[in-house]
Amino acid sequence: MTVRMTVDDLVELLRLERLDTYLFRGASPAGGTPRVYGGQLLAQSVMAMGRSAIGQRWLHSLQGYFLRPGDITRDMLFRIEPIREGRGFSTLALSVLQNDKPIFTASASFQAQEGSDEWRASMPRVAEPEALESEEQFLARVGSLDRSNGAVNPAFFHALIERRSADWRHPVMPGRRAPKAGFWCRIRQPLGDDPLVHQALLAYVSDLDLMATAMRPRGIGGLHPAAQAASLDHVMWFHAPVRADRWFYYDIEGACSVGNRGLGRGEIYQDGQLVSTTMQEGLLRVNAKFE
């Protein structure tokens, strides 16, 4: 059964309980995903490290490694270690623990505000979101996902985020396609003005479809019963402020699939300008008889 989590529930997950200066406790939704969703770990880690950084510094870089599946029935401890506090930059390390074992580690860099000349890449030409089909409409049109393999069902996210695209592919049997994808996205209700919350929820969304896009040339989706897909690492660079409750466009391209590992990279645009870049490597195994 798919649990209907609300945006308020999601924001509440980001309000980690502070146990000590550099120690926080967090939870997962009660059902809806078979294991802790990687984007949730990213978002909660952004909040833990952001609340541990000194001053009004801006998170500009995050790199994380997914080590073990997270158990949605158990709390997680977020342990922070300050690595360096400089005049312009702060570096923090993080470990997320369950049963005294790390399930996720990350490092992040924060920068004091600086002014400079700047330029940013412009987004590709795409139709406006209102002209495109939503993911809910697409899935209703193509029918049941009964053949899914127990991975996160896309319907879990529908109460939280709205996504629209001109290029939806079936998550079980998409057919062989070039490793390219893109979608508009926004959180479904206003989030307030805390920039760290917006960065955390951008990280939450950023885990979607990177590996699915890298799998497109193989013709089998991440929900196919013969597929085994899992994130191994995830990198984000935050170039400029973003509002996760306003439309942004996520442009994704698969770079390679070698040794049952796939690499995806993405660019996130808002108001026509680049605001974040992502990269992710993941495990992409497919039962040989389905190849």
Q: Where are the alpha helices (DSSP H) in the chain?
A: 7-14, 38-50, 135-142, 195-206, 210-214
Q: Render pLDDT for 21-45 as a digit per residue (tens, 0 to 9).
A: 999 999 998 767 788 999 999 999 9
pLDDT given at position 164: 96
C-alpha to C-alpha distance for 17 and 250, rounded to whole angstroms: 31
pLDDT for 155? 76
Choose from 135-149, 196-210, 274-288 the range with maximum mean pLDDT.
Answer: 196-210
Query: What tokens appear for 187 in the block?
Result: 């959180």
Q: Give the dihedral of Cα atoms 30, 33, 38, 40; nearest 10 deg.
A: -30
Describe the chain by its helix, strand, coil percentages, rounded to 5: 20, 40, 40
The share of the chain scoring above pLDDT 70, in percent, equals: 93
Q: Which residue matches tokens 């002209």?
A: 131
Domain ranges of the chain: 7-114+127-290
The residue type at 216: R
Q: What is the mean pLDDT of residues 260-288?
A: 93
pTM value?
A: 0.93
pLDDT confidence tier of residue 289, bands split at 50, 70 and 90: low
Buried b (16+ CB within 10 A) or exposed e, 225-239: eebebebbbbbbbbb
- 250 Cβ contact partners less than 8 Å away, ≥ 6 residues apart: 182, 183, 184, 185, 205, 206, 208, 209, 266, 267, 268
Q: Which tokens hold the place of 168?
A: 């939806």
Find the mean pLDDT for residues 90-101.
97
Is pLDDT at 132 greater than 80 in this prediction?
A: yes
Q: How far apart are CA 3 and CA 122, in angstroms?
A: 37
Distances (CA, A) of 90 to 6, 50, 86, 109, 211: 34, 11, 6, 6, 31
Average pLDDT over residues 265-273: 97
Q: Is the pLDDT score of 130 beyond 70?
A: yes
pLDDT at 118 over 70: yes
| Whole-number average pLDDT of the chain | 90
pLDDT of residue 39: 96
The answer to whether residue 62 scores a pLDDT higher than 70 is yes
In 3D space, the residue among 154, 191, 150, 193 whose CA is nearest the CA of residue 170 turns out to be 154
Q: Which CATH code fits 7-114+127-290?
A: 2.40.160.210
Given a cut of 90, whether residue 55 has pLDDT beyond it is no
Specify the pLDDT at position 5. 85
Residue with the larger pLDDT of the pair 16 and 170:
16
Cite the active site residues: 207, 231, 280
